[in-house]
Amino acid sequence: MRREDLPDLLAFSVVAEQGSFRGAASKLGLSPSALSHAVRRLEDQLGAALLHRTTRSVAPTEAGARFLRILQPALNDIDRALLDLADTSGRIAGHVRINAHRNAAELLVLPRLGTLQKDHPEIVVELSIDEGLTDIVAEGFDVGIRIGERLAEDVVAVRLSPDHQTAVVAAPSYLAEMGTPDTPDDLQRHRCIGYRFVTSRRLFVWRFAEGDREFEAHLEPSLIVDDVQMSQRAAMLGLGLAFVPRDAVEDQLQAGQLVEVLQRWSVTMPGDFLYYPSRRTLSLAARTVIDLLRKRGD
């Protein structure tokens, strides 16, 4: 291998890690066709097929897996050398891609970016809003932010927020028209705003607590959305009752735009966690962003 082959070696390694040319292209800032040519060039030079390619997935061949076991430690050594050099120089730069649900992006990420821009102006953050369960590795993200109960296995998780308290909220105009529910059973006589998960397409089930017992309310929503912010907005417009994390609507409650009902039946839900695959070597820029966000959760 020659030094000029290093880009092709990196291309093969990242495509194998991401499991797709599209994810690798996003991570490396190249086009999928450029990566395909790089891997093909490497395969021609070695005289062996390194990747199985189908229309749906990419995976190493037996020869590719053997080669990757030899190649990956060397690339990790280069990564560590570059990180050590960056640590020594004091310059931290790079592109960090974060995948987060909307409330986490608004409440946990955006408020911290001013400090990041001031302290590390050469770090570029790309924030993607996603209410689904995107595979952050396949899509080329460095880190994701999800509610604790929705985390995948085999990840490093960093808590960013305390557990959430739920709230059922409505606009004053809706309550004036329809009355205030006194118990969860009363919801059957009210217009409720349902939330549908983007990935599974399941409807979110409203949960309540009475003492130590938790139970579910099976409702027929009059409006269904797949965006939490849209649910809050619909409630503010008087379209019905919404089931939301209380911290997400704190400002609207303080301003009187929303009113909380059924407060004594509120339940606790897991907080938000930043996560990344345990097998991934993080760039210094990504580590810096994680450390900054972690301070919010401490």
pLDDT for 53 equals: 85
- Please check whether residues 13 and 154 belong to one and the same domain: no
Task: Read off the CATH number of the domain in which 261 is found.
Answer: 3.40.190.290
Separation CA 133–CA 135 (nearest Å): 7
- Please check whether residues 168 and 33 belong to one and the same domain: no
Domain boundary among 29, 55, 88: 88
Residue 222: pLDDT band with limits 50, 70, 90: very high
Q: Which of these, 276, 25, 240, 266, lies nearest to 144 by C-alpha position?
A: 276
- Please check whether residues 260 and 174 belong to one and the same domain: yes
Separation CA 75–CA 67 (nearest Å): 12
- Please check whether residues 206 and 111 belong to one and the same domain: no
Strand, coil or helix: 139: coil
- Please check whether residues 265 and 168 belong to one and the same domain: yes
- Please check whether residues 22 and 139 belong to one and the same domain: no
- Please check whether residues 141 and 217 belong to one and the same domain: no
pLDDT for 23 equals: 79
Is pLDDT at 225 greater than 90 in this prediction?
yes
Is pLDDT at 261 greater than 50 in this prediction?
yes
Number of domains in the chain: 3
Residue 298: pLDDT band with limits 50, 70, 90: very low
User: Mean pLDDT across the stretch 235-241?
Assistant: 97
E runs forming strands in 41-152? 51-53, 58-60, 94-100, 123-129, 143-147
Span of 167-176, 188-197, 282-291 with lowest mean pLDDT: 282-291
- What letter represents residue 9's amino acid? L
- Percent residues over pLDDT 70 in the chain: 89
- Please check whether residues 188 and 262 belong to one and the same domain: yes
203 class by beta-carbon count within 10 Å (0-12 exposed, 13-18 middle, 19+ buried): middle
- Please check whether residues 11 and 146 belong to one and the same domain: no
Residue 280: pLDDT band with limits 50, 70, 90: low
Six-digit token string for 242: 């919404």
Separation CA 260–CA 208 (nearest Å): 14
- Please check whether residues 158 and 170 belong to one and the same domain: no
Domain boundary among 88, 110, 138: 88
Residue 139: pLDDT band with limits 50, 70, 90: confident
Task: Read off the CATH number of the domain in which 111 is found.
Answer: 3.40.190.10
pLDDT for 166 equals: 94
Is pLDDT at 86 greater than 70 in this prediction?
no
As a whole number of Å, the CA-based R_g of the chain is: 24
pLDDT tens-digit readout, 23-78: 788 777 788 888 888 899 988 988 889 998 876 678 889 998 898 888 878 877 77
Span of 45-54, 85-94, 192-201, 238-247 with lowest mean pLDDT: 85-94
- Please check whether residues 178 and 131 belong to one and the same domain: no
Is pLDDT at 180 greater than 60 in this prediction?
yes
Domain boundary among 58, 88, 118: 88
Is pLDDT at 242 greater than 90 in this prediction?
yes
pLDDT tens-digit readout, 113-135: 998 889 889 899 999 988 777 77
Task: State the average pLDDT for the chain.
Answer: 85
- Please check whether residues 175 and 144 belong to one and the same domain: no
Domain of 261, in residue numbers: 164-269
Task: Read off the CATH number of the domain in which 36 is found.
Answer: 1.10.10.10
